[in-house]
Structures are given as structure tokens and as C-alpha cells.
Amino acid sequence: MFPIVAIVGRPNVGKSTLFNRFAGRRAAIVDDQPGVTRDRHYADTHLHGRELTLVDTGGFDPDSDDPMRQGIARQVNIAIAEADLVICVLDASAPPTSADREAVTLLRRSGKPVLYAANKVDNDHRAHDASEHYALGVESIHLISALHGRGLGAVEAALVELLPPADPDTTEVVENAPRVALVGRPNAGKSSLFNRLSGSERALVDHRPGTTRDPIDSCIEHGGHQFVLVDTAGIRRRAKVEKGVEGISVMRALKAIDRAQVVVLMADATEGIREQDARLLGLCTERQRAIVVGLNKMDLLDADGRKQARENARVALHFASWAPVVTVSAKTGKGVDRLMETVRKAAEQFHRRVATAELNRFFEQVLAHHAPPTSGGKAPRIYFITQAETAPPVFVAVTNAPANIQASYRRFVQNQIRKAFGFDSVPITVRYRKKKSRSND
């Protein structure tokens, strides 16, 4: 929707630091270890009076035989292809490398406007060293320190000059498009589903777990409906999570759950539902998110295996039996349409509001057939019920004795509301409040 500015360069030159500086927040993970950024990471920002979309990319290393590095190189090429402008980041603290030369050659072939920035110019001595990069054959190099903000004003001004004219008809994505987080254990197929739905290789897919580090957002349209899709890092058991980059990745995945309206829990059908899958589902219910379970890799199972996988999932996830389980193959696309239709309905339920009159007509029938049982020598009475909140749905029942409403009856009321009003993908809360006594005034 906005002009796209891609930030490229070889590993560990400070691309993510520059990305965060321009984005105005720590949107990308920054670490001294090279190769932390692997996918294309997007952030909308405002620079010098222009709205634009920044794209952070992984370190460009075309000579590497590592499949992961080759995948990153593909991501860089895609970012350049979709960009309106490219910022090529060089390292002023080191002489030009073959990867720098390859990057400059690639950018010349692209025909895209390019700004060259020598980073890590923290003092005048570094500024002198940066002059070596003119050997790459570029006409102008901006001397910057992304860490300290040095020289960034000039880069912003030059960047805005090179952007295409602003389109007055440009509008942002529909504000009420539901935000959908894809979560799960490593290698469950989250990035494969993300790429299929976004229509491009936005996320790097590799058979090795832990490929995705940063949460990645993508605005998509599926079945005539818009969604904001968020791919997240695989979440392992806490005892196995390494400190540093992986720990930050998991923390950001959990934050992505908090920001989402719907969570799609991707599980590997070939491995069955593991304890960590159940733990993640419990985490999502605690955070009161709408939930859809995507039982992935069904293409690798025969008919008996698929049936067994569905049955096992229902048993293992019994504590949230209301959450729909959709069988899918992110690789072949089978079941993806049904999954996204279920997601759409879950998002609608997350925001659904039931009129008080409709609730109480229904509840009169419930009480007539099954009134709250006597507890502690007192017979609780429920006078009326209303929906107090949406996103997630919260109901309040007014009673004479909240403490005497038994847990089994509370579950019964929840299930009745869920069944009557179609809340089959959302955890709902029913709070019991004591009726206020009338004043004698």
C-alpha cells in the first residue's frame, strides 16, 4: 500500500539496526551473531513526511553452499524485486568483500534506485576507512552509524527524494481485518502455510527446525476476506529454549499471540499431538484468543493414519474440546480453504455480541430445565445475564449467591451459551456478580 524500501547487504553489517532505527522500535532481532535475520521482515513507518514500508532482509552471501544461506539469498532477490528503492548497507569497519561486490552487481542489474550507506562510522577515523568502498564503483556513499543515529537525517532526505510520487488514493489495509497468528512447535509447517496464503516465499522454509526468528506480518486476501497473517518462531519446551536469539524469538511469538484475534495452532499429524502442542493450546486459551487447530502434513498419511491422527488430536486436546480441528496439507494446499473459512468464523465469534434480551429469553429456558443446585445450604438464584465485553466474549450473570454456584454448573452455563450462540472457536468467560441490595433511602 506504501512505497517499499528494502534494506540489503552482507551478513552482520547492521541492516536490522538500521531497520529498527527507521521503524522507531525494536521490530527486528539484533545480535552480533551473523545470520539472525532470515526472512523478509516488514514494518510501516513515517520518514520525512512520507509513509513507507521498510523491508529488512537476511545477510546476502551468494557464494555459500549452505541451503539456509541460499534460501536467504532468494529472500533478498524477492525483496529487491518488490522494492521501489533499495538501501545497500556496507561495513565501514572492514574493506569491501566479494559479497559486497556481488550485491552491488545485483543491484545494478535490478535497475532500482539505490542508496549506499557505509555503517559503523562511529568516529572520524572510521569515516576515512569507509572511502575504501568507493572501489565498488558507486558514485555516492552515505556515512552513517545506525547504532548512534549519525548521518541518518541525510539518508532519510535522499530516500524521500528517490521515492515515487505519493498516491493520494492510497489507503491502508482495512482496519478491522482480523489478525491471525500461526503458532506451533518448530517444523510444524507454519511458514509453509504462511507462504501458501501470502502467495510468495515471504518466509524461509527449511527442513531444519528454528528457521523463522522474527514474527512476519502479511496482509492477505482469501475467499474474498482480508486477514493480517503473522508467522512466528517455533516454540519449544522452556527447558530446551536457548538463551539469546531463540529466547527473544519465542518471546516475540508469545507477544504475537497477545496481539492476535485468532491463533492457528499448527501441529504435525505425522508426529501426533505432543505435550508441547497441548501446552501451547492451554497458553492460547489462558490469553483468551479464538483458536483453530491445523492438523498439518496429512498428505503424508494414508486413510487409516489420517483417521487415527484426528482421533488422537481430539483426545489430547480434550480440555479445549470446543476448538475446531481442521486437517490440512500446507504443502499441497488441501484443506487450506476450509481452514481459512474456519478462521474467518472464529474471528467473527471473537467480536460477536449477543443482545441482552435474547440472552435472557434463552436463559429462562435453561433455568426452567436446570436451575443451579443447592450448595452450602443455600439455593442460588440467577436473576439475569448480560454480555459485558467482546474480543473476547465475557458474560456477567447476576445472582444472590455467587460463591454457591458450583464449578460443574458454571461449566454447564458456558457450554449452553456456546451451543446456543455459536461460540465454538472462542474461550468464553461467565462471571457471577452478587445482586446489589436496594437502598432504604
Q: Is 196 within the bounds of a domain? A: yes
Residue 368 lies in a domain: yes
| Residue partners of 398: CB distance under 8 A and separation at least 6 | 382, 383, 384, 385, 433, 434, 435
In a domain, 173, yes or no: no
Query: Which of 323, 350, 377 is the C-terminal boundary of a domain?
Result: 350
Query: Looking at the domain assignment, is residue 135 inside a domain?
Result: yes
172 occurs within a structural domain? no
- Copy the grid coordinates of residue 214: 522474527
Asked whether residue 248 falls in the same domain as residue 379, the answer is no
Helix (H) or strand (E) holding 107: helix 98-110
What's the grid cell of residue 327? 486437517
Structural domain ending residue among the three candidates 119, 135, 162: 162
pLDDT number for residue 91? 93
Using omega within 30 degrees of 0 as the cis cutoff, is the peptide bond preceding 392 cis?
Answer: yes
- Do residues 243 and 218 both lie within one domain? yes
**CATH number, domain at 225?**
3.40.50.300
User: The pTM is what?
Assistant: 0.60
35 and 142 belong to one structural domain: yes
d(C-alpha 398, C-alpha 383), whole Å: 6
Tell which of 301, 319, 350 closes a domain.
350
Beta bridge partners of 386: 396
Residue 44 falls within a domain, yes or no?
yes
* Total structural domains within the chain: 3
Cα gap 213→207, rounded to integer Å: 15
**Which domain, by its residues, includes 20?**
4-162
- If asked whether residues 190 and 142 sit together in one domain, one would say no
pLDDT (tens, 9 = 90+) of the chain, 441 residues, equals 578 899 998 888 989 899 988 987 654 434 344 443 445 677 788 887 888 888 888 878 766 666 555 666 677 887 888 889 999 999 999 999 998 999 899 999 999 999 999 999 988 778 888 889 999 999 999 999 998 889 999 999 999 899 887 655 444 444 578 999 999 988 899 889 988 998 755 444 444 444 444 456 778 889 999 998 988 877 755 544 344 333 444 566 677 788 899 999 999 999 999 988 998 899 899 889 999 999 999 999 999 999 999 999 999 999 999 999 999 999 999 999 999 999 999 999 999 999 999 999 999 999 999 999 988 778 899 999 999 999 999 999 999 999 999 999 999 999 999 999 999 999 999 999 998 766 544
Cα separations in angstroms, 17 against 126, 239, 285: 18, 30, 35
Interatomic CA distance for residues 69 and 88, integer angstroms: 18
pLDDT score recorded for residue 31:
39
187 and 281, same domain (yes or no) = yes
Q: How many CB atoms lie within 10 A of CB 427?
A: 21
And the C-alpha cell for 1? 500500500
Looking at the fold, whether 301 and 400 belong to one and the same domain comes out as no
Check: CB of residue 392 under 8 Å from CB of residue 426.
Answer: yes
On whether both 35 and 150 belong to a single domain, the answer is: yes
Closest CA to 90 of 8, 188, 208: 8
Q: What is the pLDDT of residue 42?
A: 76
Number of alpha helices (DSSP H) and beta strands (DSSP E) in the chain = 12, 15
Let me know whether 156 and 210 are in one domain.
no
Does 378 reside within a domain?
yes
* pLDDT score of 250: 53
- One domain for residues 253 and 341: yes
Residues 198 and 295 placed together within one structural domain of the fold: yes
